[in-house]
Each structure stands twice: as C-alpha cells, then as structure tokens.
C-alpha cells in the first residue's frame, strides 16, 4: 500500500480529488487532483527555482469535503493540509511559492505577511512532525 518516494520538502497531491465542488472530472474525464499535479509540475518546469520542493501524488488524502487537496510536508516541520484549489497554473504557483517558504523555515511556520494570496483561506489542518507537538 505504501510507495517509497524521495524524502525532503514536498507537496503531496490527492490525485483522485474532484475538479470542483460541482464536478468530479473535467470534460476529458480527468480528476482535479491529477490536473493539479500536472499544473504543479508545469509551473516547476517554467521556474526551476521551485524544484526544491518535490511534487508527489497519491490517491485520496481523505479530505473529501474539499476538492484539489494537498499535504505540504518537510522533515522536522509542521505540515499542512490545504484544499479548495482550482487545478490551474495560478493556484499551482501559489502552492509552490508557499511550499518554498515552508521548506526554508526553521519549523514550518511561515509568517502570515509572507503568505501568497492564493493560499489564504485554503488551510484545513496542520500536522505536527514526528516526535513533536506544538506548544
């Protein structure tokens, strides 16, 4: 059931997420999560500085109340689950911009003033790193 991936900062995309609250797939039958993963990789291709964060995908993150859900993680840092994105280049860029800030932070906390507009309002949960809880 588990598949090994590279360790390090990553955005894990729910590949089976809906395209939107109203639609499961696009007109070609592709799920929103798969489209978002593709958009993230295309944005990284256009801006290689964003490749410090891996884009990984897996089926179902169990956050089905939202569509286009991602889990942001990095070793020793607080992780975050975000959702409600569009599978677009603009949302992919906002996710990756935030992910780079997260990866560069000491503990996974990025000051609110540095958040890209495109991630505000998308947070679902935060997850403590293994061996820690938040004080």
**What percent of the chain is helix, strand and coil (3-state, nearest 5)?**
30, 20, 50
pLDDT of 1 strictly over 90:
no
Q: What are the tens digits of pLDDT across the range 26-41?
A: 999 999 999 999 999 9
Residues 52-62 pLDDT 10s: 999 999 999 99
Domain ranges of the chain: 10-127
Alpha-carbon span 73 to 31, nearest angstrom: 23
Q: In this predicted structure, what is the pLDDT of residue 101?
A: 98
Q: Which runs of E-coded beta strand occur in 1-135?
A: 10-14, 54-58, 70-73, 79-82, 123-127
DSSP at 120: T
For 10-127, CATH number? 3.40.30.10
pLDDT of residue 49: 96
State the pLDDT confidence band at 134, using cuts at 50, 70 and 90. confident
Q: pTM for this one?
A: 0.96
8-state DSSP, 38? H
Predicted confidence (pLDDT) per residue in 71-87, tens digit: 999 999 999 999 999 99
């Amino acid at each position: 059931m588990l598949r090994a991936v590279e360790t390090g900062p990553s955005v894990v995309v729910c590949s089976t997420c809906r395209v939107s609250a109203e639609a499961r797939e696009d007109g070609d039958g592709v799920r929103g999560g798969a489209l978002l993963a593709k958009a993230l990789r295309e944005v990284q291709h256009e801006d290689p500085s964003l490749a410090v964060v891996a884009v990984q995908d897996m089926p179902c993150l169990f956050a089905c109340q939202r569509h286009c859900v991602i889990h942001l993680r990095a070793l020793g840092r607080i992780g975050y689950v975000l959702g409600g994105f569009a599978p677009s280049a603009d949302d992919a860029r906002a996710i990756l911009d935030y992910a780079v800030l997260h990866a560069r932070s000491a503990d996974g906390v990025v000051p609110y003033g540095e958040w890209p507009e495109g991630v505000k309002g998308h947070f679902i949960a935060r997850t403590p790193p293994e061996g820690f809880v938040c004080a």
